[in-house]
Amino acid sequence: MDQTLDWDDPAFLPLFAQAGSADPSLPARLAPFAACIAYTREPSLRVALERAIPRVVVCSPAPARVHAAEWLSRPARAFGAEPPPVPPDMEATVAEEGEASAFLQDRLQPGFLAIHPGSGGAPKNWPSDRFASLARELEAQPFLLIEGPADAVSVAAIAQNASCVRATHLSLRGLGAVLRRAGLFGGNDSGVTHLAAAWGAPTLCLFGPTDPSIWAPVGRLVAVVRSPSASMSDLPVAEVSRAARTLRGRAAASISPTLR
């Protein structure tokens, strides 16, 4: 049985309370579930879930000295699963392939460069003008510039390049289907970078204040360059460019003929 419950539903609030009764409808809504993996540190939530669901496996949401993907997949082993270190690439539906094809048509050539200069926090962002320099260094014309709702400042310097094709309104999986066709993706420690890696794009991830041993994206073609300090401004273009060329060469040697 496949079912999705909205965790923001007020009916779930009593699960976090030390005492008190839950919404009368809650037990019935949780009854179809035989087991639960709960990423939480809240003892009250664990107790409340155990009252409603026969088997509850709890895991802290904060990785402890291992990569986040390995840490967060550990509870699945309690149910007999064996998550691979590098999962297979995400695959697009027919509709998602159609969305990607319609977006790319007559805009970008196969093996294009894709750049996302934003992230969830400014300290994690490589300076925008350096991403612009990287595009010039790699002679990427045209290239894809990915812009999220909070990325206006991050994309400003790059968007001045007349060769950039801006992606702003693709669905999340539609963007993944687009990135699957990229010859190289470059980005910061961000959700889009993880998306690119998950869809099999050759992914170059730039790190500064966060630890790549825990937060590096997982994929079959991933490379990481980290600033020598916590500051992204200390990461030079030349070093990133070398890593990009090396990764692009690896990707060209391994790309499936069906994607050429």
Has residue 20 got a pLDDT over 60? no
More confident residue, 130 or 1: 130
Percent of the chain whose pLDDT exceeds 70 = 95
Residues 111 and 72 in one domain: no
CA gap 9, 90 in Å, rounded: 30
Last-in-domain residue among 29, 52, 77: 77
Burial class (CB in 10 A: 0-12, 13-18, 19+), 169: exposed
Has residue 256 got a pLDDT over 90? no
CA gap 183, 139 in Å, rounded: 13
Has residue 258 got a pLDDT over 50? no
Residue 85 lies in a domain: no
Long-range interactions of 39-47: CB distance < 8 A, separation 24+? 39/72, 42/16, 44/15, 44/16, 44/17, 44/18, 45/15, 45/16
Dihedral pair phi/psi, residue 210, rounded to 5°: -100, 160
Residues 180 and 136 in one domain: yes
Has residue 104 got a pLDDT over 70? yes
Beta strands at 113-116 and 184-188: parallel, antiparallel or unpaired: parallel
Last-in-domain residue among 50, 77, 104: 77
Mean pLDDT of 149-163: 88
**What total number of domains does the chain contain?**
2
Residue 1 lies in a domain: no
